[in-house]
Amino acid sequence: MTAVLPNDRPLPALRTGNLELRLAETPAEIDAALALRYRVFYEEMGAKPSDDVARGQRDIDAYDGYCDHLVVLDHSQGAPVVVGTYRLIRRAAADKVGGFYSASEYDVSKLIAMQGEILELGRSCVDAAHRNRPTMQLMWRGISNYVFHHDIQVMFGCASLSGTDVQAHADILSYLHHFHLAPSALRTRALPDRYIDMALKPAVALDARRCLAELPPLVKGYLRLGGFVGDGAVIDEQFNTIDVCIIVKTDLVTEKYMRHYESQRDAPGGA
């Protein structure tokens, strides 16, 4: 499998120790990313594969032939091994498939109507042995370089809480709704037939500090970038998750992170 839409400009690779981050360049690298996604989502997290997915042991759908696959490669064993990946979908890629993946769960029409480039983030996963700070920091650096490289105005995508028991996540969902709901102009909303009210508890009943600490690292990372959540959660039975829609308007990224990203862009090997 090769991306139908070539990158209009090369995105330089990033290195830290034995780890390299860049866009997948060959069908074999894309295949390795799909295999990693299968191991994490289906074998580890309990997602339910279709017959085709189970036979191929690859997490794959219609978007994978059109998007950019950001990959983390471990060079410590000689031949590089894909140990992390992120799926990146811009407008042109979504148009080829008929829309963004998130549109199957959320009304994203307000984001699509915005001027400038938008980016859907998804299918993020890291091999269990590499779930550590250096790998995650490298992935965030890669995302930030991609954002500046393509002048992305808004990033969005579905982030997941493990399991489908809404009440088990009542505090976190309520916290996200009360403290991080997107402003109206950016607010996505879960589709009517999938909408789960996130305001399960009043704000005064929450320990906001504890809720923030208990958030999945990926969701917490988006919030630190100035991110918001959409209105309503969605149960994804196939992936055994509860999804929330994350929205990050890049001009709202805090000055601290903006300075960091600019320094990475201007440094050797930056975008």
Distance, CA of 109 to CA of 16 (rounded, Å): 38
**Confidence category of residue 252, pLDDT binned at 50, 70, 90:** low
pLDDT of 10-62, one tens digit each? Answer: 778 899 899 999 999 999 999 999 999 999 999 999 999 999 999 999 999 99
Q: Is the pTM of this model over 0.85?
A: yes
- pLDDT for residue 74 is more than 80: yes
pLDDT for residue 39 = 97
Alpha helices in the chain (DSSP H): 27-38, 51-56, 91-97, 109-112, 133-149, 170-180, 208-214, 217-224, 255-266
What span, in angstroms and rounded, lies between the C-alpha atoms of 81 and 118?
30
Full DSSP string of 182-238: PPGGG--EE-TTT-B-S--S-GGG--HHHHHHHS-HHHHHHHHTT-EE-BSBEEETT
Query: Is residue 119 scored above 70 in pLDDT?
Result: yes
**What length does the chain have?**
271
Strand partners, 196: 233
Extents of the domains making up the chain: 14-266
Q: Report residue 142: phi and psi, to 5°.
A: -65, -45
Please check the confidence at residue 6 and state whether its pLDDT lies above 50. no
Superfamily holding 14-266: Gcn5-related N-acetyltransferase (GNAT) (3.40.630.30)
Counting residues of the chain whose pLDDT is more than 90, the rounded percentage is 75
pLDDT at 266 over 90: no
Q: What is the pLDDT of residue 137?
A: 87
Type and span of the H or E element at 124 = strand 117-126
Task: Work out the pLDDT band at 188, boundaries 50, 70, 90.
Answer: very high
141-170 pLDDT, tens digit per residue, is: 899 889 988 999 999 999 999 999 999 999
Among 92-96, 172-176, 251-255, which is the least confidently predicted range?
251-255
- Would you say 89 and 150 are in contact if contact means Cβ atoms under 8 Å apart? no
Q: What is the pLDDT of residue 81?
A: 95
**pLDDT computed for residue 259 by the predictor:** 55
Residue 270 pLDDT > 60: no
- Mean confidence (pLDDT) of the chain: 89
The answer, yes or no, to whether residue 203 has pLDDT greater than 60, is yes
Read off the pLDDT of residues 223-241 as tens digits, 9 standing for 90 and up. 988 899 999 999 999 999 9
Q: Distance between CA atoms of 248 and 155, rounded to whole angstroms?
A: 5
The pLDDT score that the predictor gives to residue 253 is 57
Q: With left for phi above 0 and alpha for psi between -120 and 50, is residue 232 left, alpha or beta?
A: left
pLDDT at 65 over 90: yes
Query: In this model, does residue 262 exceed pLDDT 80?
Result: no
- pLDDT band at residue 9 under the 50/70/90 scheme: low
Mean pLDDT for the stretch of residues 94-101: 96
Tally of CB atoms within 10 A around 256? 9
Amino acid (1-letter code) at residue 37: R
Q: Which residues contact 216 (CB under 8 A, 6 or more apart)?
A: 159, 160, 161, 162
Which pLDDT score is estimated for 271? 30
